[in-house]
Structure 1
Amino acid sequence: MESGETRLLWQVLQAEMPDLPAELLSAPSSRAAMAEIVDRCAQVTGGLGALAQAVELLRPGSDESARLRELAGQLTPSAGDIDALRGIVGDVVVPDLAELAREATGGPLEWAGEDVVDTYLELFELSADKRSLTPLIFLELVAGRTPAVQDALREWTNRQAALLEVRYELTRFRNERFPRPAVRETLTLMISISEAEDDEDQYLLAAWRQRDPHEWPPPRGPVVRASRANLEAAVDAIVIDAETAWAAHAGDIRVEFLLPHSLLHLPIAEWRTELASAAPIPLTLQYPVIVRSLERMRSPHWHRAWRMRAKRLSLSNSADNLFLLPRERADPLRDFAVLSDERWTAVAIDTPPAGGPAALSDELASVLRTGIPVVVWHRDGTAEAAAEAVRELMGDTPLNELPQRVAEARRDALRDPANAPAHDLVVLWDDPVRVVSATELDLTGTEVEH
């Protein structure tokens, strides 16, 4: 290689392997420089494979690239690789090494090394083809028996598989031998309801329906106008339309109602779906149903605190982080100071405003401003009653399962009406990941379906 190519090669390798020194000891134009590069790469985990890839990048299809790939495939793992492997498995005891080695080779084998690394090296030496998958299969079997080091060991085997160009084969073996349980992914239907400005008995509804669990926000659906008496029917139509679109989805569904404070009193827990049938079913029996704050979503100056507290909830996910905030003791400044303590990730309040154009209540305003993502209340009870219901429902269960537990408890109550802690419980659960823009939230002046 010319000196310029040698320098470039070294820069490419340094980007891939930060452990390499900044400069070569040999002059870039000398043959000694290439020998030094090969020697240094041989001492770094995955170094020869990275060198082969770098040369292929600079000289695609060249003889040098082909020889390096062959060299990488034939050489015993470097000292650095083996030291890294010993560091991972360390003092891990696997009593059935011989059994695992026999399974890896697929034939009779009367021996095994003294430990994982020795057995791996013996299998490597016995392999006529140094690209053989057998030694890596042995380590995959060990990983399956040693959960404490499983991730690190599989990361090591992934690097070796890439070096030997057998990554696909290793992944296929891993998936067949250790299939992962299918994950039931959840799709969200968020329904916004707000008062129409031109008629106090009219409401505007819009929905955001996920098509992919990793997509947010999805496109907003059409805006629908409905009277107070027809709100339940309008929601029913939105839910049935969503279920029709989700016919091929084999997973869970979550329904969220995005409401201004003046509509938090709406009897969502009593609304039903399939109203045209002989036996309509309450939404809360079919889905985890939560409410969300339209004021918070419309107030970006509250979002930083909201995101911080939501992160805290993910780290400290216990019903012990629930604070009681009865209305008769409400003092906006005191409440703000108390709720600013980051340990509080959920708050129980008294019944929210009964509706109308009144300003946001002091206690709810304090909760939203401090960023607390979870608020619970009883429709006809007190903050104490709501907190007691949450603790009875959750026990030692993580708090982030509260919406699901409430849905399960409501179904249980049909079987045993005497056990109904969640019957009148309302959960406001605001996830800062699922927000939509102010433009999307503005339903006024848009095309309306009657």
Structure 2
Amino acid sequence: MTAGTLGPGERRRLIDALLRIDALSVRSTREACVTELQNTLSRPLEWERDERALHDVWGLAVACLGRPGGIQTLLDVVEFFDRGSHAFREARALADAVLPEPLLTTEERRLLAQLVQHLERQGLTLIQHAELVPAYQRAVGEFGPPPRPEVYDERHIVDVRLLIEQLEEAPLGPDGVAPLLRFVHELAGYAKAPVATAFAEWMTRFAERTGLGQDWRRLLTATEKRPALDNAQRAASLVFECRPDGADPDRLAVSARLERADGTVAMVRCDEEPEPVERLPALVEALLNRERGLLAAEPCELTIEFALPRDLLDLPCDQFVVTLGGVPRRLGIEYPVVLRSLDRMDEVWLWPKWRSKWNLLREGAGEARVHPVCEPGEYDGERLFAVLSDPEAVGLAMAYPPMDEGPGRVDEIWVAFETGVPIVVWCRKSRAPERFTEEARELCGSDPATLPRTVRRLRREAVLSQDRRQNRRPQTLPGGGALEDANDRDETEHLGMHLALLYDDADRVPEPYDRLRPPA
């Protein structure tokens, strides 16, 4: 019940009844009541204090009417100071008559506020904060009221207490389960012992009081079942956006967000003090270690994406060595690691062709294919543009790095952007044309939509191949000396060790200036 839903006549009668209570009309006891009330509610009340009792109690009553169960909580506090008086009994009877019964008792509200406080002291990560709103939406259901905008602060941290207050007023589901109980059940999953145990005890007592009985967990689990999602709907990407600092282009402002195919976005690192480019592997390692448990809980395999400016696309991000759980390994052998282009994201006029080809790739229509280029100079800019302008050309695979400079060189990356090609694969170390022609068959012949995982497999094979070469004993010749194996001439010659993949998803393009906006 809010102040706006109570008629002016009823509000005046209620405030008059409160003023007749000695504990509120006398300033000293009123201050004691206010102090205890503020300690009992989940969030402190705010109103303009006044020396005059009428105005001060009026402001207090209006503030309480703006909170679920606020007036009832006030009366529970006042009862301790003015128990049994006729004025108190009259005010209580009037409140019961004009206000609906609150979902929570004063004691339940006080204990829940304490549990939330303990949970916040324990520490909620940015991902967990971003999960709170989807948890609220699951609790209220498809047609429930959306969370109020003020639940977010300027850092996009969610105010759990505001969500709980809104859930107190949400109608019961058809099965009789309170949305608040559903939300608290998910919230308790973030708690550690002994707070998790205290949450379980609170939920059990609340469920028994509201008639759900001892079997409330089974009822909650049964009604939480949702249609199964396919892999495309369950996919998730951890995107590191690296923008050069305007004052020093060798330093990067790095933000990171967890993007899901269902449209939910969780900021896990906001732009902070720009860092040197060489610090990027350490930032990635620190974030993965901090959020490892939650990232591992994603229902489908996680892809890691690096959104970079044009002149940083040569960074071997897949070869970053990170130590997770005490085990060092290359990032690209655990996760599919892909590059994304900030230049294409920033240039809106490139989007129509890009989205057209991405739709072809996503929908599996026609004969989407990756076009191989085995030698520098094989195509000039115009011929390459003509080849990639084919509507079914969704990718470009090169045996050499596109970043090399030289007279007459074609900027293959930019030609790909101009023609809307979302996929560019290249070898960071120039490859023999004959060998790449053979290797490119697998890349160009497989489903382009599976390229991130195909490339991840090649990176794993490269690590295993390197180990085999290091452990192989050289064959000795009859007169002494060793027989050199052509495959041992370069221990990192396997394609997977040098393979870069630009994989631009046109469905996930943050709008300018809206990159950090909380999910709707």
- The two structures have a TM-score, normalised by structure 2, of 0.44
Report the Cα distance in structure 1 between the residues aligned to 2:250 and 2:228, rounded to whole angstroms: 52
Whether the 8 Å contact between 1:191 and 1:206 is mirrored in structure 2 is yes
- The offset of 1:271, in angstroms, is 0.5
Aligned residue among 341, 357, 366 for 2:390:
341
Q: How many residues align?
A: 259
Q: Which amino acid aligns with 2:499?
A: L
Task: Please state if 1:285 is matched with 2:333.
Answer: yes
Whether the 8 Å contact between 2:370 and 2:443 is mirrored in structure 1 is no
Which secondary structure state, in structure 2, belongs to the residue aligned with residue 239 of structure 1?
Answer: helix
Report the Cα distance in structure 1 between the residues aligned to 2:243 and 2:436, rounded to whole angstroms: 26
Task: Please state if 1:364 is matched with 2:438.
Answer: no
- The offset of 1:251, in angstroms, is 2.8
Whether the 8 Å contact between 1:322 and 1:387 is mirrored in structure 2 is no
Q: Deviations over 1:217-272 (max 9, x none)?
A: 54473113211332210121233334243354343111011111100111212202
Q: What 5-or-longer segments of structure 2 have no aligned partner?
A: 1-221, 470-492
Mark the CA change 1:391 to 1:319 in structure 2 (over 3 Å): closer, same or farther: farther
Task: Please state if 1:431 is matched with 2:505.
Answer: yes
Whether the 8 Å contact between 2:427 and 2:495 is mirrored in structure 1 is no
Counterpart residue number, 2:402: 352
Task: Please state if 1:231 is matched with 2:280.
Answer: yes
Q: Which amino acid aligns with 2:461?
A: D
Counterpart residue number, 2:300: 251
- The offset of 1:292, in angstroms, is 0.8
Which secondary structure state, in structure 2, belongs to the residue aligned with residue 193 of structure 1?
Answer: strand
Whether the 8 Å contact between 1:271 and 1:283 is mirrored in structure 2 is yes
Counterpart residue number, 1:324: 373
Report the Cα distance in structure 2 between the residues aligned to 1:181 and 1:303, rounded to whole angstroms: 28
- The offset of 1:189, in angstroms, is 0.4
Report the Cα distance in structure 2 between the residues aligned to 1:421 and 1:200, rounded to whole angstroms: 31
Report the Cα distance in structure 2 between the residues aligned to 1:435 and 1:290, rounded to whole angstroms: 15
Matches within 5 A, 1:38-49: none
Whether the 8 Å contact between 1:323 and 1:347 is mirrored in structure 2 is yes
Report the Cα distance in structure 1 between the residues aligned to 2:368 and 2:244, rounded to whole angstroms: 34
Counterpart residue number, 1:301: 349
Using the aligned pairs only, state the percent identity: 27
Aligned residue among 238, 255, 266 for 1:189:
238
Q: Which amino acid aligns with 1:439?
A: Y
Task: Please state if 1:401 is matched with 2:436.
Answer: no
Q: Which amino acid aligns with 2:510?
A: V
Whether the 8 Å contact between 2:461 and 2:496 is mirrored in structure 1 is no
Which secondary structure state, in structure 2, belongs to the residue aligned with residue 437 of structure 1?
Answer: coil
Matches within 5 A, 1:96-115: none
- The offset of 1:413, in angstroms, is 3.2
Whether the 8 Å contact between 1:345 and 1:373 is mirrored in structure 2 is yes
Counterpart residue number, 1:391: 441
Mark the CA change 1:328 to 1:289 in structure 2 (over 3 Å): closer, same or farther: same
Mark the CA change 1:345 to 1:387 in structure 2 (over 3 Å): closer, same or farther: farther
Mark the CA change 1:216 to 1:353 in structure 2 (over 3 Å): closer, same or farther: farther
Mark the CA change 1:304 to 1:391 in structure 2 (over 3 Å): closer, same or farther: same
Mark the CA change 1:256 to 1:182 in structure 2 (over 3 Å): closer, same or farther: closer
Mark the CA change 1:286 to 1:383 in structure 2 (over 3 Å): closer, same or farther: same
Aligned residue among 264, 269, 291 for 2:313:
264
Report the Cα distance in structure 2 between the residues aligned to 1:281 and 1:268, rounded to whole angstroms: 13
Whether the 8 Å contact between 2:314 and 2:428 is mirrored in structure 1 is yes
CA RMSD of aligned residues (A): 3.4
Whether the 8 Å contact between 2:380 and 2:410 is mirrored in structure 1 is no
Counterpart residue number, 2:55: none
Matches within 5 A, 1:80-95: none
- The offset of 1:182, in angstroms, is 8.0
- The offset of 1:364, in angstroms, is 1.4
- The two structures have a TM-score, normalised by structure 1, of 0.51
Matches within 5 A, 1:155-194: 185-194=234-243
Task: Please state if 1:380 is matched with 2:429.
Answer: yes
Whether the 8 Å contact between 1:261 and 1:293 is mirrored in structure 2 is yes
Report the Cα distance in structure 1 between the residues aligned to 2:389 and 2:343, rounded to whole angstroms: 19
Report the Cα distance in structure 2 between the residues aligned to 1:383 and 1:438, rounded to whole angstroms: 42
Mark the CA change 1:389 to 1:278 in structure 2 (over 3 Å): closer, same or farther: same
Mark the CA change 1:325 to 1:182 in structure 2 (over 3 Å): closer, same or farther: closer
Q: Which amino acid aligns with 1:434?
A: R
Which secondary structure state, in structure 1, belongs to the residue aligned with residue 393 of structure 2?
Answer: coil
- The offset of 1:300, in angstroms, is 1.1
Whether the 8 Å contact between 2:242 and 2:254 is mirrored in structure 1 is yes
Mark the CA change 1:201 to 1:295 in structure 2 (over 3 Å): closer, same or farther: closer
- The offset of 1:399, in angstroms, is 2.2
Q: Which amino acid aligns with 1:202?
A: R
Which secondary structure state, in structure 2, belongs to the residue aligned with residue 274 of structure 1?
Answer: strand
Task: Please state if 1:313 is matched with 2:361.
Answer: yes
- The offset of 1:312, in angstroms, is 2.3
Q: What 5-or-longer segments of structure 1 have no aligned partner?
A: 1-171, 443-450
Which secondary structure state, in structure 1, belongs to the residue aligned with residue 495 of structure 2?
Answer: coil
Report the Cα distance in structure 2 between the residues aligned to 1:316 and 1:387, rounded to whole angstroms: 26
Counterpart residue number, 1:60: none
Matches within 5 A, 1:111-126: none
Report the Cα distance in structure 1 between the residues aligned to 2:369 and 2:250, rounded to whole angstroms: 41
